[in-house]
């Protein structure tokens, strides 16, 4: 993934001024490389992640994934949200399956993939539980496993 000269300005309506959340940021992350973004509060970390995820457009510059510009969210990128982000009306297994809907998998392959990630995050036996019936420690597995299930 390559981030090229990315800038992001937000219009701060209350102050009537622009906020320069990102200014000419470039970096590259190789396949299977693990990268962390560190910085003080409000320095633009979430803004960058939102642009990489395709939730926000940059004001200038581009994010390229395998050479192609990121234009929108896609199943080639997963986001583990900081806050609780499971669908409360779906079971644990249905939450995991959600991101697999656009993958070319048959129902057997989809079930196997869900089982694999349920095991990985230690939720075996809770597949059909509602996330709201699980404790805080258990529910953290769901948001982690959901984007993982796609890859």
List interacting residues with ligand ATP (CB under 6 A). Answer: 10, 12, 19, 21, 39, 41-47
Query: Least distance to ligand ATP from the beta carbon of 25, Å?
Result: 11
Is residue 16 packed enough to be buried (19+ CB in 10 Å), middle (13-18) or exposed (0-12)?
exposed
CB of 21 to Mg ion, least distance (A): 10
Strand bridging mode 2-12 / 17-28 = antiparallel
Lateral strand order in the sheet of 60-65: 17-28, 2-12, 60-65, 68-69
User: Which listed option, Mg ion, ligand ATP, none, makes contact with residue 42 (CB within 5 to 8 Å by class)?
Assistant: ligand ATP
Partner from Mg ion, ligand ATP, none binding residue 151, C-beta < 5-8 Å depending on class: none
Residue 47 CB, nearest approach to Mg ion (Å): 8
């Amino acid at each position: 993934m390559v981030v090229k000269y990315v800038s992001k300005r937000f219009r701060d309506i209350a102050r009537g001024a622009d906020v320069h959340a990102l200014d000419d940021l470039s970096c590259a992350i190789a396949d299977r490389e693990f990268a962390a973004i560190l910085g003080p509060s409000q320095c633009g970390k979430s803004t960058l992640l939102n642009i990489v995820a395709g939730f926000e457009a940059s004001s200038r510059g581009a994010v390229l994934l395998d050479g192609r510009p990121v234009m929108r969210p896609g199943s080639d990128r997963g986001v583990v949200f900081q806050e609780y982000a499971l669908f409360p009306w779906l079971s644990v297994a249905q939450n995991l399956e959600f991101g697999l809907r656009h993958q070319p998998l048959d129902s057997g392959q989809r079930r196997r993939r869900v089982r694999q990630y349920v095991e990985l995050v230690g939720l075996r036996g809770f597949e059909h539980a509602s996330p709201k019936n699980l404790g805080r420690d258990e529910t953290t597995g769901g948001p982690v496993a959901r984007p993982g299930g796609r890859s």
